[in-house]
Chains A and B, each alone.
Chain A
Amino acid sequence: NAGVTQTPKFQVLKTGQSMTLQCAQDMNHEYMSWYRQDPGMGLRLIHYSVGAGITDQGEVPNGYNVSRSTTEDFPLRLLSAAPSQTSVYFCASSRASNQPQHFGDGTRLSIL
């Protein structure tokens, strides 16, 4: 099993560009989520999904969109990148929110 796979691992964008961070899991997990990690801020939830076709906002959703058309995939879209979105982004999946969350190794995103 590959677990949770995030691509790309690194990305540099210019302000105003858009891009999609990919997240795929092969564990048939219903629950998936996106976090951003910034120094001294811990892990902050951006969006999450309790199953295909269902998404909801987390603590810091502005500037990000998600969709969940399949159980396996949960892409995160930056609509118009801003320097404040420079961060490390983690995707996680689990059977439910009170079950162990399996994290990917992150995407390190820099926006100039």
Chain B
Amino acid sequence: QQQVKQSPQSLIVQKGGISIINCAYENTAFDYFPWYQQFPGKGPALLIAIRPDVSEKKEGRFTISFNKSAKQFSLHIMDSQPGDSATYFCAARVAGNTPLVFGKGTRLSVIA
């Protein structure tokens, strides 16, 4: 059972454009929603995270938008750069020291 549904599977964006990756969930007990970035041959690394009492969080060119009523959250990458080309995973976890559940990932390619 996939608890976090991520889309699209792959995304091609022009340099300078906006990359948008979406995730949807059903479990209203989730209380933490991180995004991870993974480059080829490396392990994932935390990019940005949000909690459900906040509707938006911005760190540099990266923004998470969170819609609690729709049970959706998304990652926006502004002014996308070729160096942003990577696989991005959304994740979520239930309150308590429970494991993260990951989406299936989005492979982003930013072309010049």
Q: Do A and B come from one complex?
A: yes
User: Contact partner of A97 among B42, B97, B103, B104, CB < 8 A?
Assistant: B97
Q: List 11 A-B contacts (CB under 8 A).
A: A40-B104, A43-B89, A59-B101, A97-B32, A97-B97, A100-B34, A100-B46, A101-B46, A103-B43, A103-B44, A105-B41
B97 and A96 form a contact (CB under 8 A): yes
Task: Indicate the member of A45, A92, A98 with the most B CB atoms within 10 Å.
Answer: A98
Whether a CB of chain A sits under 8 angstroms from the CB of B102 is yes
Q: In the complex, how many residues of chain A place their beta carbon closer than 8 angstroms to a beta carbon of chain B?
A: 25
Check: A48 CB closer than 8 A to any chain B CB: yes
A50 and B70 CA atoms in complex are apart in Å by 32
Query: Are A42's CB and B102's CB within 8 A?
Result: yes
- In the complex, what residues of B have CB within 8 A of residue A42's CB? 6, 89, 102-105
A96 CA to B46 CA, complexed, in Å: 14
Looking at B6, B93, B99, the one whose CB has the most chain A CB atoms below 10 A away is B99
A106 in contact with B99 (CB, 8 Å): no
* Cβ proximity bits A75-112 to B, threshold 8 Å, 1 near / 0 not: 00000000000000010100011101101111000000
Distance in Å: Cβ of A42 to nearest Cβ of chain B: 4
Question: Cβ of A71 < 8 Å from any Cβ of B?
Answer: no
